[in-house]
Structure 1
Amino acid sequence: MSKMLKRGWELTYVYVTDGRHGSDAVPPKELVKIRRAEARKERTMLGIQDSIELGVEDGSAGGLRGPELKALKQRVASIIAGTKADLIVVPSRSDMHPDHRATHDLVAETLKDMQLNPMLVKYFVWLFPDFYRKRPDVAGLVLMVGIDGEMTRKMAAIRLHRSQVGRGSFDAMARTLNAYLAYAFRAPATIGARYVEIIGLDEAEHNAREAQALLTALEPC
């Protein structure tokens, strides 16, 4: 995101769930307010101007059916149409968090209903606890993106989410994972990076202009 902003991309954050069940100590309604304030601080720091909250109850995205799911898809379709999105960034279908997987499927199904095929940029957050049970995902192109120049901002952004970092050392986890991925895929030798993100691009072949602009923004990759 930071690299894209530097290249002049206009980004809109869409928050699907409200985070209310992310603490054993803070009441759900209070936690929603805390998470909203933390997200606002992150957007301010990164320079994100536009954001939308869908307000789905934390942990329930994958269980929506019938009229509730239809209404949510209509809201997502309205956002896609309203922003005229060139690309959409979504969690991988293989992510181990159920809300993240549900978000992927929500976007994919909505695009199918709309008969649109913008480029999807897929990322993962949770590899654990049981990567043996991962659901399959597809991407036409897998990229290793060097983020050495972005690590300071990334760590600062993560630490703004104090209600989450306080429960677990997510900043240290992210730094360690980005370093592990870099050395696992020989990034220091191939692209001169000590920290990397791994992302998947789908429908890049149908969006050549957007794909090339993204590759330019994400260098080295």
Structure 2
Amino acid sequence: MSALPFEAYPLRPASYAATLGRTVIVIPHPDDEALGCGGLLALLRQAGQPVAAVQVSDGTMSHPHSVDFSPVARRELRYAELRHALAVLNVDEHNVLYLGLPDSEVPSEGSAFDKAAARLADFITEQQADTVLVPWRRDPHPDHRATSRLTAAALASLPQPPRRLEYVVWAWERAAPADLPQPHEGQGFRLDIGPVLAQKQRAIAAHRSQLAPGVITDDSSGFLLSEHMLAHFAQPTEVFIEAPSPISA
């Protein structure tokens, strides 16, 4: 898809990050944090703002047919890569809530959804979050959409929910016109991450299993990020949509 809808958003300076306060990022898969808002996370930490993370899925389905790496080994590999990436961004890699939901099957309703939403709400409260970062609600990957619904349910349960910023990952590549943000759905903007772009690139590189040639080599059907996809995240800006409050689940 064309990047023009996002490129038309107004540009905010890197100093804007400091206004977001204590922040929790909700991550569908390990690597989404670096791709979608690694620059913002680095800027938050530069400004002295605390950042905590919630890892939603177990990340095991990027190479589902590997024999050398069992599902447990794949999960631990991807969690280790997440911690490495967070450390690169100066985020406390130990302050992570792992929901452990199944990769490619993050629920959008039901008892598992309700339990995860309650855990997420408790974590956001414990962190005294001023801002929550979550994937754009119609980001094309189903786990991203489910993560958005999960976060919306968690925030709706709080008496004073924090502000919500939605970040873009797969909408750069796969969004249909109906998936794109509409004016009534929030205020879109681009954030200048030029001062920390190299740091963001190092955080992306920490996810070695997702980058060619990869570290899981016995699954020819396994997922690797394409160079074309990665080019979107080598730019000196990141895209966010500030959702109106409240937002329905």
Deviations 1:6-65 (A, max 9, x none): 011100011011101111324322100110111111122222112111111111213541
> Which SS does the other structure have where 1:197 is aligned?
strand
Could you tell me how far apart the structure 1 residues matched to 2:147 and 2:132 are?
A: 12
The alpha-carbon deviation at position 172 of structure 1 amounts to 5.9
Larger RCO of the pair (alpha carbons < 8 Å, separation 6+) = 2
Q: Report the counterpart of residue 19 of structure 2 in structure 1.
A: none
Could you tell me how far apart the structure 1 residues matched to 2:227 and 2:98 are?
A: 24
TM-score by length of 2: 0.68
Letter in 2 for 1:45: V
Could you tell me how far apart the structure 2 residues matched to 1:36 and 1:102 are?
A: 20
Contact 2:140 2:170 in 1 (8 A): yes
The alpha-carbon deviation at position 148 of structure 1 amounts to 1.9
Q: Is the alpha carbon distance of 1:7 and 1:172 closer, same or farther for their aligned partners in structure 2, counting shifts above 3 Å? A: farther
Q: Is the alpha carbon distance of 1:5 and 1:139 closer, same or farther for their aligned partners in structure 2, counting shifts above 3 Å? A: farther
Query: Is residue 218 of structure 2 the alignment partner of residue 163 of structure 1?
Result: no
Q: Report the counterpart of residue 177 of structure 1 in structure 2.
A: 232
Q: Report the counterpart of residue 189 of structure 2 in structure 1.
A: 143
Q: Report the counterpart of residue 75 of structure 2 in structure 1.
A: 32
**How do 1:79-94 residues align onto structure 2 when only pairs under 5 Å count?**
79-94=123-138
Instruction: Count matched residues.
Output: 189
Which of 52, 74, 85 is 1:42 aligned to? 85
Unaligned runs of 5+ in 1: 180-193, 206-221
Contact 1:12 1:48 in 2 (8 A): yes
Could you tell me how far apart the structure 2 residues matched to 1:158 and 1:170 are?
A: 13
Identity of aligned residues (%): 27
Deviations 1:55-77 (A, max 9, x none): 11111213541x22221121111
Query: Is residue 103 of structure 2 the alignment partner of residue 58 of structure 1?
Result: yes
Contact 2:135 2:147 in 1 (8 A): yes
Q: CA RMSD in A?
A: 2.4
Q: Is the alpha carbon distance of 1:7 and 1:153 closer, same or farther for their aligned partners in structure 2, counting shifts above 3 Å? A: same
Which of 152, 165, 182 is 1:121 aligned to? 165
Query: Is residue 172 of structure 2 the alignment partner of residue 131 of structure 1?
Result: no
Letter in 1 for 2:96: S
The alpha-carbon deviation at position 139 of structure 1 amounts to 4.3
Q: Is the alpha carbon distance of 1:62 and 1:162 closer, same or farther for their aligned partners in structure 2, counting shifts above 3 Å? A: same
Could you tell me how far apart the structure 2 residues matched to 1:169 and 1:120 are?
A: 27
Which of 122, 125, 149 is 1:78 aligned to? 122
Unaligned runs of 5+ in 2: 1-40, 215-222
Letter in 2 for 1:96: P
Could you tell me how far apart the structure 1 residues matched to 2:78 and 2:161 are?
A: 32
Contact 2:107 2:113 in 1 (8 A): no
Considering fraction of residues, name the structure with more helix: 1
Query: Is residue 238 of structure 2 the alignment partner of residue 200 of structure 1?
Result: no
Q: Report the counterpart of residue 56 of structure 2 in structure 1.
A: 16
Contact 2:139 2:175 in 1 (8 A): no
Contact 1:155 1:171 in 2 (8 A): no
